[in-house]
Structure 1
């Protein structure tokens, strides 16, 4: 008897819920409806404005690197993705029969995306430039392996996700992006854990979103993000702080922009969306550039490089943004020495306290007020007595004059 299928949720929930609520061919985007195809967004997105792209691409644009996008499929009708996607290496593991979990073999090439989620994820990684838009992928010469294992009905399960990871290995992926999760505890002998371990053994960088259930700020493990060796990505905002929805936990490894994210949609054009689903591919794009520049480095070294060069306000990691918000340019330029793991920043050197004499404190504000009040009271009393005395003297003078004239 086979175990019941474990549905996927979390990072994909925003897109799937939106798709179910919208007519076929549309998906919710920040600020309203996003209809496929969409118009072009001319401005450069804020998530790219924070990067000096010329400096980022001075050594490589990701050529030769293969990134598996395990998601709802990747549309190739969008001109920005047509040359980026290797459809021949793709697969579709969404089941026709619910009992067929996971399907024994692919029933498509992974380029059918009725939700738009996977197409957005792929665009953030490797979208080619377009003359009508300021949006472009972070690794615009990398190749996308499209693997569809979820859809608008939420058909994806842990078993189909595991099968998708194995397919990515078979297709020589250098980086795997998983923008979906399950929050059900999974044992170390689960099919998904074995698949992830197999990918890591092949020195594939495995990147996963942490999920969008973090509004309460409580820690919670999600899978596969919390597996050892997986780079778990949280969402940050324009201030490099954790986006309120981003899941917290000790497993969080790094953060990346995940609010108001522009990316490609099926048919053409771009829309805006948010979620840790779009933070993970931001990191995956930088990982693809690192892999292209340093093909001999291990997956652990690529991950450590991303974490060590991230922007952070404390010396080490925390459970909200991990080692900090990814810094693409620094990751590609401050990279002379391979790192086995990230290390905390050294704090500022201790400065000896200056030798100063003891401070003699004066009166406090309350003491001063009390002193001035006393002075005022005494002054008032003196004036009162003075006026009374003057009045008596004047009265006596009048009496004397009255007696003389009488």
Structure 2
């Protein structure tokens, strides 16, 4: 029988408090659906999903791991290509080749919730419309502070970075999921990831030019959604960067309740919630460019936003300060930033212009890093409150409408005007 590589989840205990992250999602198994119809030949991940909220490598994962090992000792070989665990989520990740018959056998083991076929996330990079735009247009009335704070690290959760515009500020040790390509190089379409990094902290085009950067590299596999944010959580702890980091990314997924994408975002949301609440690290993401389909922000994880999950959703504006026609907004929008004719560098270090909320979000991430690096941080940095305070500060103080249009969004501002920081002679 041809081989299939499948995603496996161990039994998860989902409490009502956690269900707010994915309203309407049903956590049901597919054990009765064997044999699985059709053969799968593409390599995907095998995920062990332990009891949510427990400590590193909880007992549920151990039970599943022992039973799976015993099963393959008796039933045939399995190729284990990668192994990964996160202390944020207790996730165990394997890449295992097996036949459909074996997959059904594994699905019946104690501790196993479901066997699911993994694949590419169809929405990966959806927040990044690219194209030739006018490089001479500049957003008015924003004066760069000549001596930004510094001392903050920005985690870029994308597909790598491919240029040297950071002057030694990029940490050499990257974070990488098992499926991501080795090295820190940019594997994204059209250099999307590099441009995002440059807008956050690039020496020439970035907002916070003194920030350090850690590359958190993922592939476009659905399984990497659940893995990458657990790795970021663990790395923040390892580097001692609580209250000294910002996480940013410009991608997401459309809801599909009950399927593998929903399961992965539930796991990712667990890690992101701990990053924001337990580690006091703000998380900044793009609102999305799908307003023609839905004006209201509706992609994971942006749609999870609430006080307990204070993710900062960033929309895009045209040069006059009005909302870009494709930028999603609504009650979950935190703030907006320039998203038209944005200048950055491509993966070869050449100047390019791009457009979309993907390139508005890292500007706000840079602004948050700048504010956190000031001698006196202008919002509450008490334990467990920093991320929500940063979001509220952007909504109420570090922004203002720059257009007279009825639906003009509040546009991010560093509270510096020309009188405070006049241009040099």
TM-score by length of 1: 0.61
Which of 270, 279, 289 is the equivalent residue of 1:212? 289
Q: Deviations over 1:236-270 (max 9, x none)?
A: 11111110111233211111111111112112122
- For these two proteins, the number of residue pairs brought into alignment is 279
Gaps of 5+ in 2: 1-113, 257-261, 421-425
Contact 1:254 1:307 in 2 (8 A): yes
Which of 209, 212, 215 is the equivalent residue of 1:140? 209
Contact 2:225 2:264 in 1 (8 A): no
Q: Distance in 2 between matches of 1:218 and 1:289?
A: 30
Residue aligning to 2:368: 287
Which of 141, 159, 167 is the equivalent residue of 1:72? 159
Rg (Cα) greater in structure: 1
Q: Distance in 2 between matches of 1:218 and 1:6?
A: 28
1:114: Cα distance to partner? 5.0
Residue aligning to 2:142: 51
Residue aligning to 1:30: 132
Residue aligning to 1:255: 336
Contact 2:176 2:217 in 1 (8 A): yes
Matched, 1:163 2:227: yes
Residue aligning to 2:4: none
Aligned pairs for 1:4-403 within 5 A:
4-5=117-118, 8=121, 12-13=125-126, 15=128, 29-31=131-133, 46-47=138-139, 50-53=141-144, 56-58=145-147, 60-61=148-149, 63-75=150-162, 78-88=163-173, 90-93=174-177, 95=179, 108-115=182-189, 116-129=191-204, 136-150=205-219, 155-157=220-222, 159-172=223-236, 174-185=245-256, 186=262, 190-200=266-276, 201-216=278-293, 218-228=295-305, 229-293=310-374, 294=376, 297=381, 298-309=386-397, 310-312=399-401, 324-329=410-415
Distance of aligned partners of 1:313 and 1:46 in 2 relative to their CA distance in 1, 3 Å threshold: closer
Residue aligning to 2:21: none
Gaps of 5+ in 1: 19-27, 33-40, 96-105, 130-135, 335-406
**SS of aligned partner of 1:128:** coil
Contact 1:181 1:210 in 2 (8 A): no
Q: Distance in 1 between matches of 2:167 and 2:297?
A: 38
